[in-house]
Amino acid sequence: MTIYKSQQANLVEGGTSGTIEVGSLRAVDYGKSKTTVEAQAANNSYYTSADNQSEWGNKFTLSTVQSFETESFGDMGFSFGFVQSNSANPEENYGSSTTLAACSFRAADGSPLTTNNGDNERCGDRDLNSSNNNMPDNDSMVSPGRSQDLVTLGPNADVERFGVNGADHLAKFDPSSIFFIPDDSYWRTGRDEDERRNIVGTFQWVPNEQWDINLDYASSRLEYTEDRMELAQERGKNLNPESLIIDDSGNLLYEEGQGKLTLQGENRYQLDEYDGFGLNIDFEPNDNLVLSFDASYSKSYRYRLRQRAKFRHESTTAYSLDSRGTVPKLYLGDNEQIENANFFYTSESGSLVENPNYGGAAFDVSNMASFINSDGGAYLEYGRENDEREDDIWAVKLDSKYSFDDYSVVSSIEVGVRYSREHLYDYSGIQTAFNVDDGSRRPIDDNWNSDDHVDRDGANNDFDSLYPDEHAQVTAAAAACGDNGHSLEGFMDSSGGAADAGNFLTFDAQCLIGAYLGQVGFLSPGGNNPNIGYYDIGEDPDKRSGQVIDVREDTTAFYAMAWIDTEFSGLPVTGNVGIRHVKTETSSQSWGEKAILTQSFLEDDPTTLDIDETGLETWNYSSETGEVYLEDDYSEILPSLNLTFHISDELYLRTAAYRSMSRFAMNAMSSG
């Protein structure tokens, strides 16, 4: 490994400061033979036989370097490394949505504030009152916490409506009563498998003193699968202001409210592959000249896939959440209606104590039937998202270095040329699902709303309400998937437990997805197949969204550099001075909106142009989606000077002056 702290002409452009050059081991130069074998085993007691996953992991490592001499073919050597591992990394997680609304139930004058639009509105939701200058009509909303929603606080606040930085709006609330709350919280368990394999190899051949030939190879593969199982609790609705405990920083430590409960399952898969080759040939025809040839190729590939399913109770359930510990504890009310519910805790003299009247959770999160409504239906959702990225680079380089026998300033000179081509194909964040009624493709919004509620035109054509029998059928098929056998024994025990969130039902996501797909297309001519089971619906074949990134970059570089070895006022000085010329050509193709301008003609005379009152011709604008191609090229000249002054054997003064360039990331040059 070589570290360059500044740029110089013979280095590949792209760095702006330091550059690290990592080279492979050359067996002949190393001159020794060595072999290492290592085997490791790991046991993870988190998993039990009920989890259908082995608690054992393993890792095997082999490395060797060998060199030998031959009478007829010179010196040869090789190195080889192999690592393979198989492990599981179980996790227990608590988390919440990234959206944090700010709420308050007490005005600056001490009077109470309410959430105006009923039990189904969160305290942080905002609705605009058209009769009051479009001000929010939710009195408890301090800030919605959503970038796409009305901003009431901060530098983007509407000064006329909210004051500078929203100060007028903020002044309406008692500061000590303001708290932050997410849209929902979740408790997650899961199982996964992580398989890795890495191979590196080199071969060096030195047939004589003039030739040195090196071949390198590297390969890496990672395959990762994960099954996530979650219980999610909707928060912020119908909160009891009298029960809230808020710390000095606005953190909500205890709440009582009501919200929908959701079972969530997600299958994740990731594949990473890398292959790289390199060839280096050095030829020394005499003691002064060295000619070098390098060729390299590398290809990296990544594919990620998410398959997500939800099963939700459509009615809200009374809950309390105690966030005073490491992991918040969920205690469901002994009645699903908050006005009739007792909770695990009750407040006495400002402190929480166990409630002797609490009768236990009315909602059983371990029973899938609890999530089904009285009409036999439940909220069912499925969505698919994938990322695919392939990046390949190949390059060739020719260098020559001539060293002088007698010199006073310049000890040697280098000249060289390099050509490289990189091609990136990136099709990421592709989200898709099926409409239940006709089986057509549909996108997924930012909240992964891909459910069975089909209301695309606002015409009250909701699948749930218009087809209750079919909705009940798909719900029953999903409920039949039942528990997948994953054990929750000891869930969150190391963090104090999760109370009622510690025994939720963990379902088989693929089974539930199969139930969903079995209803897809029930209104189409071909109908649906309730027994079709799980299958991968694949990515959306329509790539006109503009998310395709297909970019190619060709780079040609020439350089010349002189190595300096001289004295300045009796002080030894070494270094280099050089110049590098770089030409870059880029091309990109994707999908995007193309503008179309058409001239306007008079309605009663289609041959006469329409002229406006200023005497100018009028034009109509429209657009259409089409393929977009972009090309560009640019050149840069990069001079450099590096000098080191040897003040003493222990003290060096190093100086550098250079012009460098950095490039845009390839995926930032998409034409779409």
pLDDT tens-digit series, residues 523-568: 889 899 999 999 999 988 887 776 888 999 999 999 999 999 999 8
Q: How far apart are CA 530 and CA 612, in angstroms?
A: 61
User: Is residue 373 within 8 Å of residue 476, measured between CB atoms?
Assistant: no
What residue has token string 């909770």? 343
How many angstroms separate the CA atoms of 115 and 433, rounded?
A: 35
What φ, ψ does residue 493 adopt, rounded to 5°? -60, -35
Judging by DSSP bridges, how do beta strands 179-182 and 245-246 pair with one another? unpaired
Buried-exposed string 351-371: b where 16+ CB fall within 10 A, e elsewhere: ebeebeebeebbbbbeebebb
Query: pLDDT tens digits for 597-628?
Result: 777 877 777 777 777 777 777 877 777 777 88
Q: What angle do CA 448, 453, 457 make, to 5 degrees?
A: 100
DSSP conformation class of 158: -
- At residue 341, φ and ψ (nearest 5 deg) are -95, 140
Complete DSSP assignment for 118-141: -TTSBTT---EEGGGTTEE--TTE
Q: Residue for token digits 């036999």? A: 376
SS3 491: coil
Nearest to 400 by CA among 412, 415, 411, 410: 415
Q: How far apart are CA 55 and CA 487, in angstroms?
A: 13
Instruction: State phi, psi for 515 to the nearest 5 degrees.
Output: -65, -40
Instruction: Report yes or no: 582 and 572 within 8 Å, Cβ to Cβ.
Output: no
| CA–CA separation, 365 and 187 (whole Å) | 12
**Is 247 within 8 Å of 254 (Cβ atoms)?**
no
Number of Cβ atoms within 10 Å of the Cβ of 461? 14
Answer whether residue 355 shows pLDDT above 90.
yes
Give me the count of residues in the chain. Answer: 672
For the segment 74-97, the average pLDDT, to the nearest whole number, is: 90
CA nearest to 313, candidates 341, 336, 340, 342: 336
Shortest CA distance to 447 belongs to which of 148, 83, 649, 58?
A: 148
Share of the chain above pLDDT 90, in %: 54
**Which of 284, 239, 238, 224 lies closest to 85 in space, CA to CA?**
224
Distances (CA, A) of 664 to 592, 639, 667: 21, 21, 8
For 37-70, the DSSP string reads EEEEEEE-TT--GGGTS-SEEEEEEEEEEEEEEE
pLDDT digits (tens, 9 = 90+) for 252-297: 999 999 999 999 999 999 999 999 999 999 999 999 999 999 999 9
Name which of 252, 254, 327, 321 is nearest 497 in CA terms: 327
Dist CA 249 CA 4 (whole Å): 47
- The values of phi and psi at residue 28, to 5°, are -65, -45
DSSP code for 483: B
Residue of higher predicted confidence among 82 and 672: 82
Who contacts 575 (Cβ-Cβ below 8 Å, separation ≥6)?
563, 564, 641, 642, 643, 644
Instruction: State mean pLDDT over 243-247.
Output: 92
Mean pLDDT in residue range 187-202: 93
Q: Which two tokens stand for residue 97?
A: 């949505």
Query: Residue 413 has which token pair?
Result: 């000179």
| DSSP state at residue 328 | P
Average pLDDT, integer, range 143-167: 77
pTM above 0.75, yes or no: yes
The pLDDT mean for the chain works out to 87
**Between the ranges 15-24, 359-368, 467-476, 607-616, where is the mean pLDDT highest?**
359-368
| Cβ atoms of residues 37 and 64 within 8 Å | no
SS3 assignment, position 404? coil
Burial bucket for residue 332 (CB in 10 Å: 0-12, 13-18, 19+): buried
Do 363 and 336 form a contact (C-beta atoms < 8 A)? yes
Residue 152 pLDDT: 75
Residue 146 burial (CB count, 10 A): 17
Specify whether the CB–CB gap between 168 and 162 falls below 8 A.
Answer: yes
pLDDT at res. 450: 46
Residue spans of alpha helices (H) in 102-205 = 159-162, 167-170
